Structure 1
Amino acid sequence: HWEKFIGRPLENLRAIAADGLFTAYNWESNWAKAHEVLMPGFTKEAMVSYHGVMASAVDELSASIERQGETYIPTVEEMGKLTLEVIGRCGFNYTFDSFTRTQEHPFVAAMSRTLTYAQKAGIPVPFVGKLLRRKDEEQNRKDYQLLVDTVDDVIAERIKSGERRPDLLDHMLHSDSDVALDPENIRNQVLTFLIAGHETSVNALSFALHFIAQNPDVARRMRDEANAVFADRDATYEDVAKLRYTRQVINESLRLWPTAPGFFRAAKHDTTVGDYAFSKGEWVFVLLLATQRDAAWGPDAAEFNPDRFAPEANRGRAPELFKPFGTGIRSCIGRQFALHEMALALATLVQR
């Protein structure tokens, strides 16, 4: 009855990612092509190949925190470095040298400014504001060109070298199916993953650490679990699946503070929801911040309690109450990638 709708916030991101997976219109053919080409990049076999890369990035994060030697650590900044390195290396064999650079990488700075500009683009401004915005427009043009040039160089270098690697770029350049993506769409997909795969995980990890810091008993249980699963050795791919309580902590953090506040849906035909009638094409915004704190979660719905995601507590709960990765065929393709990355990072940090 419903399908994804590209609302204004996503519409503004099309200036960066165009018809990438996240921002493509439903009728654009490249979405289905890219989905088919990229699905093998998120199979168990692919995830096993990514694990070592993720673990190395987590080790670098830990070393960075130790070097700082402070009680207070800028959590969001440190998580940003981690998630950018993970998606850059696992996706395209590209490092931003996040843990060794003394200054922000030009690509990262440009991406941050471009996203900020896209967010503001849909906000009406008076005439004087338009004059002042010209400077921002010029900076945005330069920033976008830097993003495009960087990604194009990475793609061109891979093609020139003929190298084959177990990453997302390889799947796009050497598809196992009869479907092929054109160079411009490959660029759009790279930009999509760098944005979506970076920003969302940063927020999820940062909120989880916020709740862990406020709840020492939760931290203790996570630490006990990590010690029981991998003790003093490096975590394997199989170990991460055993971090069940850690996954409950992640889910509860995503419930209270989903990385996106909600998602847009449009009616595929005239239909109703409860007492409300919708015409074909009419859209709604599903507010996850309300849905995931609904009274159906219990009288303590606004409180942080990872035990509500224990297997015995999940029985009979409507699946519509928890949709942090979206819904339908266009829900997040990188869900398992993100969950593996977050569980590995949080368990390692809490243990160390």
Structure 2
Amino acid sequence: MSVDTIPDAAGLPLIGALLDFRRDPLETYLRAQRDHGDVVRFTVGPPGLRQEFYAVFSAEGAQQVLARSVGFRKDDAFYDEIRQTFGNGLLTSQDADYVRQRRLIQPLFTRRRVDRYARAMCEETSATLAEWRDRDGEVIDVLAEVTRLTQRVVTRVLFGAASEEAADVVGRNFPLLGEWMLRRGFSPLPLPRWVPTPANRRAAAARRELYEVCDRIIAERSSGGAEHGDLLNLLLQAGDDEDDRLAPAEIRDQVLVFFLAGHETTATSMMFALYLLAGNPEVQRRAREEAERVLGDRMPEAADFDRLAYVHMAMKEAMRLYPPSPGISRRATADTEINGQVIPAGKIVLLSPWVTQRHPAYWPDPERFDPERFTPEREAARPRYAWFPFGGGPRACIGQHFSMLEAVLAIALMLREYEFHPVDTEIKLTQKLALRSVGPIRCRISAR
């Protein structure tokens, strides 16, 4: 096979698929898979600014791209924007930098380590539920509520006693930087960062304030001898000896990337889970009965994660339908055959959990919300990469258990205390740093 045999989702003669992506990129990918199969070429933009990339939609293709330690790199404009904005942390680093960072940081994210944060997760969730008590019967903006919750959790886990100082700075500056970075990442010809446009100046000020608060907390923590028990303390101690430790700037980069990845994606997962549970009363009832049976009236603990099997299945199904990161990109370093088609070296390869997790070859009636898809037997019968919201292979998300533990325990607590009733039954989606709804997703809550 040669690259010439790969079907092209051509779009219009002069601008290719540009209008399709501006109107609805998620539907554009779904239609491409239906019309052309599991490997499709896209050309986007006018001559001179045209971009070309290859989308791979099969589970087998996703495994080939993600599970290999060589052959595909995190090397495109979007990752470069993250790197320049939030530093060269674990999400964006490459080669020897990545190997070293992963070696030092992986021990901090074992299941046993992460389980220690369950109490903080549950206490912050309980604080959110306490705020809802005066709003019984009212309509809440689910996205706003769970975003505040996940911000509080990740800030507390990272900074411990200094979390209140950091939370305000992070909460104000991260959304601004995220929007700015996203626009630049998808622009065919972004202006240099030094050009003093209003957007560049606002972003530079936000980045400076964010760096300053992180650097100050790290410096204060480095000079003190007290044990704080938070993730920052563990990052400062990571490594076998002083020569192997992360430098302060490296720690700041890790902190910012953990915050970026640790609250946006979890908030997205919880938002869509509550939206789907509100619209499916029978599933909500079953999940609530499990939460009441497992938890009784006590505070959840890490051991409850495995006992809340149905809540866990509901979360996985919500992430199947609404993956926080609907697209994952890599650059091919050599000509590579995938699904019988040859993708040329140097080209961007896009994987789409949005499409693969709706692929009819793996998911009968794919638009239906059905947590039973994730019984152990049915999971074992599917290809490993039919579901990959956390990526996979050597660069799989290091915080997968953190995110799932927080979401499952928080949703169980919420269901035990409240019923959720749908208000917005039809939603429109957009892709920002994570998958989002256009406008709020609202639910009416009633205390139990």
Whether TM exceeds 0.5 here: the answer is yes
Report the CA distance between 1:7 and its aligned residue: 2.8
Q: Is the 1:40–1:171 contact (alpha carbons within 8 Å) kept by the matching residues of 2? A: no
Inter-partner Cα distance in structure 1 for 2:259 and 2:363: 37
Deviations 1:220-241 (A, max 9, x none): 1111101111111111221122
1:304 aligns with 369
Is the contact between residue 41 and residue 167 of structure 1 (CA under 8 Å) also seen in structure 2?
no
Q: For the Cα contact (< 8 Å) 1:113–1:143, is it kept in 2? A: yes
Mapped to 1, the partners of 2:196 and 2:324 lie a distance apart of: 29
1:180-219 residue pairs with structure 2 within 5 A? Answer: 180-219=245-284
| Alpha-carbon spacing, 1:300–1:328, altered in 2? closer, same or farther (3 Å) | same
CA RMSD of aligned residues (A): 2.3
Of 295, 300, 318 in structure 2, the residue corresponding to residue 253 of structure 1 is: 318
Of 386, 391, 397, the match for 1:326: 391
**Contact kept? 1:17, 1:23, Cα under 8 Å:** no
Q: What is the match of residue 264 of structure 1? A: 329
Gaps of 5+ in 1: 99-103
Task: Select the residue among 119, 140, 148 that pairs with 1:81.
Answer: 148
Are residue 5 (structure 1) and residue 68 (structure 2) matched?
no
Structure 2 residue matching 1:285: 3-state secondary structure = strand
Question: Does residue 1:153 correspond to 2:216, yes or no?
Answer: yes
How far off is 1:187 after superposition?
0.6
1:45 Cα deviation from its structure 2 partner: 2.9
Alpha-carbon contact 1:46-1:166 (below 8 Å) kept: no
Q: Is the 8 A contact 2:158 2:232 kept in 1?
A: yes
Q: How far off is 1:44 after superposition?
A: 3.0
1:106-185 → structure 2 map (5 Å cutoff): 106-122=169-185, 123-124=187-188, 134-178=197-241, 179-185=244-250
Structure ID, larger Rg: 2
The count of residues paired between Structure 1 and Structure 2 equals 343
**2-side partners of 1:75 and 1:200: how far apart?**
14
Distance 1:198 1:322 in 2: 21
User: In structure 1, what is the equivalent of residue 139 of structure 2?
Assistant: 72
TM-aligned CA distance change 1:161 to 1:283, over 3 Å: same
TM-score normalised to the size of structure 2?
Answer: 0.72
Q: Which residue of 1 aligns with 2:91?
A: 22
Q: Is the 8 A contact 1:4 1:330 kept in 2?
A: no
Answer 1 or 2: which has greater helix percent.
1
> Partner of 1:101 in structure 2?
none
The answer on 1:278 being equivalent to 2:343 is yes
Scaled by the length of structure 1, the TM-score of the pair is 0.91
SS state at 1:344 partner: helix
More deviation, 239-248/69-78 = 69-78
Which residue among 45, 67, 79 is the counterpart of 2:112?
45
How far off is 1:117 after superposition?
0.8
Deviation per residue, 1:192-235 (Å, 9 max, x gap): 01111011111111011110110011111111101111111111
Structure with higher strand content: 2
Aligned residues of 1:20 and 1:188 also touching (Cα < 8 A): yes
SS in 2 for 1:277: strand
Corresponding residue for 2:163? 95
Amino acid at match of 1:164: E
| CA-to-aligned-CA distance 1:325-346 (integer Å, 9 cap, x gap) | 0121111000001100000000
The alpha carbon displacement at 1:15 in A equals 2.1
2:135, 2:105 → 1: CA distance? 38
Aligned partner of 2:171: which letter?
Answer: V
The runs of 5 or more residues in structure 2 that have no matched partner are 1-67, 418-448
Q: Distance in 1 between matches of 2:381 and 2:368?
A: 20
- What displacement does 1:126 show? 10
Deviates more, 1:334-343 or 1:65-74: 65-74
% identity of equivalent residues: 30
